[in-house]
A and B are shown apart, each in its own frame.
Chain A
Amino acid sequence: MLDLKGYGPALLDGAIVTIELAFLSLALSVALGLVGASAKLSQSRVAKGIATTYTTLIRGVPDLVMMLLFYYGGQVAVNMLSDYIWEAYEIDFFFQFDPFISGVVTIGLIFGAYMTETFRGAFLAVETGQIEAARAYGFTRFHTFRRIMLPQMMRHALPGLGNNWQVLLKTTALVSIIGLTDMVRVAEEAAKAERMPFHFFIPVAFVYLALTAGSELFIKWLDKRANVGVVQGS
């Protein structure tokens, strides 16, 4: 049986941190992606410009650099802001920028850009006739979005969404570099202390493998459900 030298509970806690991090970043990135895709498809040139700048910038910079910038830079920015607020209004305002928040914000922002592209394509795949019909029925813009666009675009967005999720899950490992005690960090400390790198990293690798394999099955199932009633050509 696998002997984790007393690091078992810490590794389990780390795994839970990894999963929390992944789900929170996913939620943020999906929200950003929906906003970004709407902005890209809107009539407003300003909104289009902002969304395009956002996706271009994010895709040009490595995730680790972005994370280091937000983690170290975020704290400096918060300090500057709190100094300013104290001097201007004498309100004591301060918060610690911890690795978990930096991780969620960075990963959310990065994958928000990828989700924007995925959702943009998926929105475009919904037939315009559907939207015209909704308008003819007197649906408001919000209702059209909520009842007509969203359910139909999900079918087209799922494969891309699934891919992004798989990459996101593996990206969470990077947050160990800025000091979050996720399972990679615990494994690293254990491997150094016990001088047994294979012993700790390989089980962690298998946890990631199990997570990605499980997600793959789940996405396949979702895809099947989303495509119920769609006649597929051979």
Chain B
Amino acid sequence: MPDFIAEWLNQNEIFTAMTIMEYWDGMVTTVHLVFLSLVIGLLVAVPLAILRTVRNPFVSGPVWLYTYLFRGTPLLIQLYIIYYGLAQIEGIQETFWWEIFREPFYPALLAFTLNTAAYTTEIIRGAIVSTPNGEIEAAKAYGMNWFMRMRRIVLPSAARRAVQAYSNEVIFMLHASAIASVVTIVDLTGAARNIYSRFYAPFDAFIFVALCYMALTFILVFAFRKLETHLLKHQRPVSG
């Protein structure tokens, strides 16, 4: 380690082992929260996106309404409604659900999941709708039924078209997760806010956390770029 960094680390009062641990715990919480909401959100979004493409308005209508409501309002409001609202449901405090939802982590997880599922549903729907007709006709000509067609032809081809937009949604979700700190969750931003109020040092506390988020963002961007080249390998021009 260069001497000036060692010297600076010895002199400063803010970046001690204690606060670094706080930031680390915060990062674990952020990654945990974002990862879980993205995975559950994606699992919910795929069937919803398929339902959204169904011609019957009684099937696609409710899904449209759900995505419209969650995409048209701020995530912060959704979080507040779920966080403050769940405690107000009659009788919830007597059931086992209360054991889960009294922790701020689970209301936040629910809000983030519902929000990302709404955006992801629309992304996947767009990709499904733009499947080239020839691919579907070919699948029909091979005698594939609806289910097999969906599983083998439509969804894999839609995934390739959706991955670019979905990577934006993942990064958006990582950044949006910062609001978890307002419902007393100590995520990365929560750790930074605690350290700010202890030392009254806004630049150290928030610039450091900004760098942490930036590192996470660039890791995601890199991973998605890899995934994209992997998924679109067959479309790469042949070269010597």
Contacts and interface: CB of A to CB of B under 8 A. Distances in A.
Interface string A55-85: 0010111111110110011001000000000
B175 interface: yes
Contacts of B217: 59-61
Contacts of B69: 205, 209
A61 B81 CA distance: 26
Interface residues of A, number: 38
B214 A64 contact: no
Interface in A161-210: 170-174, 176-177, 184, 187-188, 191-192, 195-198, 201-202, 204-205, 208-209
B33 to A, nearest CB: 13
A213 interface: yes
A195 B210 contact: no
A43 to B, nearest CB: 28
B84 interface: yes
A72 B202 contact: yes
Dominant secondary structure at the A interface: helix
A29 to B, nearest CB: 17
Chain B's interface size range is 35 or more
Contact of A209 (B72, B171, B182): B72
A177 B179 contact: yes
Dominant secondary structure at the B interface: helix
A197 B213 CA distance: 31
A195 B88 contact: yes
Contact of A64 (B81, B178, B218): B178
Contact of A68 (B80, B81, B192): B192
A103 to B, nearest CB: 13
Contact of B75 (A73, A76, A170, A191): A170
Nearest to A61: B210
A109 B78 CA distance: 25
A212 B72 CA distance: 6
A68 B214 contact: no
